[in-house]
């Protein structure tokens, strides 16, 4: 694999559900032979939205300071970048735009974790899948992804086919293709997220079929482990890079919100 491996989806304990100091994630990246990493912790959102699973707004400056300290400590050894995993949720766009203007981010992932009030990737609420029509669920989900792509807020879309996490696969596919058209039209990349290999579905996001469709549309990929502990940094990146290369896909990273490579 000639392309250097860079992990662009990582969390920190500020989100309330990750462990390990930021410098331990950086050390893990060095130990794994990566060229760099971009922290993308769950961004603050309005107080009514998903508060237990993210940093508070009054912690944002601390997050930036912590990442800057790791940048200084690893300077010359590891390329450490500052990003966010932001949520796309209708009604919160102005709040997110304010955050994005507040600091010099390198990379911003746009993720959909909620359909309406349902946090569909939360194991606590997995029973809700049985109450839903899967085809309708995916149609609603991918309509939100289209909204995220068109919002102009993000550099990439996070874990594209996330509702498959617990094994509830998309019975259709048309809505996913429309979402990919929107992603390509907006010039975004896709987070190739290896966390799916650690979940019940046992498949990275997006699926090989969606990777092929993304490649057809010229959409590049940004590698991410979605690490919530240092031991997950660079998780199965050799497999990910091989899968993307075999599909004819291209790996990129972002610095200063500009696509690299
Ligand atoms: Zn998380
Ligand atoms: Zn996520």
- pLDDT (0 to 100) of residue 2: 42
Which of the ligands is closest to the CA of residue 156?
Answer: 2
- pLDDT (0 to 100) of residue 4: 78
Which of the ligands is closest to the CA of residue 159?
Answer: 2
Which of the ligands is closest to the CA of residue 228?
Answer: 1
| Residue 216 CA, ligand 1 centroid: distance in Å | 30
- Confirm if 143 and 186 have CB atoms less than 8 A apart: no
| Residue 94 CA, ligand 2 centroid: distance in Å | 20
| Residue 82 CA, ligand 2 centroid: distance in Å | 17
| Residue 213 CA, ligand 1 centroid: distance in Å | 27
- pLDDT (0 to 100) of residue 261: 84
| Residue 114 CA, ligand 1 centroid: distance in Å | 13
- pLDDT (0 to 100) of residue 141: 98
User: Could you read off the pLDDT of 90-147 as tens digits, one per residue?
Assistant: 999 999 999 999 999 999 999 999 999 999 999 999 999 999 999 999 999 999 999 9
Which of the ligands is closest to the CA of residue 227?
Answer: 1
| Residue 158 CA, ligand 2 centroid: distance in Å | 6
| Residue 159 CA, ligand 2 centroid: distance in Å | 7
Q: How do 107-111 and 189-193 pair as beta strands?
A: unpaired
Helix 174-185 / helix 134-150 crossing angle, nearest 10 deg: 0
Q: How do 156-157 and 118-119 pair as beta strands?
A: unpaired
Residues in contact with 160: Cβ distance below 8 Å, sequence separation at least 6, in sequence order: 145, 176, 179, 190, 191, 205, 206, 210
Residues in contact with 96: Cβ distance below 8 Å, sequence separation at least 6, in sequence order: 43, 45, 86, 87, 88, 153
- Confirm if 221 and 183 have CB atoms less than 8 A apart: no
Which of the ligands is closest to the CA of residue 11?
Answer: 1
Per-residue pLDDT tens listing for the chain (261 residues): 445 799 999 999 999 999 999 999 999 999 999 999 999 999 999 999 999 999 999 999 999 999 999 999 999 999 999 999 999 999 999 999 999 999 999 999 999 999 999 999 999 999 999 999 999 999 999 999 999 999 999 999 999 999 999 999 999 999 999 999 999 999 999 999 999 999 999 999 999 999 999 999 999 999 999 999 999 999 999 999 999 999 999 999 999 999 998
User: Could you read off the pLDDT of 168-177 as tens digits, one per residue?
Assistant: 999 999 999 9
Which of the ligands is closest to the CA of residue 53?
Answer: 1
| Residue 228 CA, ligand 1 centroid: distance in Å | 7
55: three-class secondary structure by DSSP: coil
| Residue 12 CA, ligand 1 centroid: distance in Å | 9
């Amino acid at each position: 694999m000639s392309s250097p491996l860079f992990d662009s989806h990582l969390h920190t304990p500020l989100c309330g559900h990750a462990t390990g100091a930021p410098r331990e994630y950086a050390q893990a990246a060095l130990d794994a032979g990566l060229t760099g990493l971009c922290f993308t912790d769950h961004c603050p959102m309005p107080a009514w939205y998903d508060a237990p699973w993210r940093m508070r707004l009054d912690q944002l400056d601390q997050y930036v300071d912590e990442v800057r300290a790791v940048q200084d400590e690893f300077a010359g050894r590891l390329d450490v970048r500052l990003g966010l995993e932001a949520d796309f949720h209708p009604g919160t766009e102005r709040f997110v735009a304010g955050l994005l203007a507040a600091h010099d981010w390198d990379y911003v992932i746009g993720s959909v974790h909620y359909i309406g009030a349902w946090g569909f990737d939360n194991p606590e609420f997995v029973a809700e899948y049985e109450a839903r029509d899967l085809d309708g669920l995916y149609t609603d989900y991918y309509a939100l992804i289209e909204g995220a792509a068109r919002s102009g807020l993000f550099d990439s879309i996070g874990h594209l086919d996330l509702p498959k996490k617990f094994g509830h696969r998309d019975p259709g596919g048309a809505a996913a293709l429309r979402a990919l058209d929107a992603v390509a039209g907006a010039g975004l990349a896709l987070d190739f997220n290896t966390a799916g290999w650690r979940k019940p579905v046992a498949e990275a996001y997006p699926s090989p079929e969606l990777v092929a469709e993304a490649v057809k549309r010229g959409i590049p990929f940004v590698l991410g482990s979605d690490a919530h502990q240092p031991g997950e940094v660079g998780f199965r990146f050799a497999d990910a890079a091989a899968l993307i290369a075999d599909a004819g896909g291209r790996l990129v990273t972002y610095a200063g919100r500009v696509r690299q490579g």
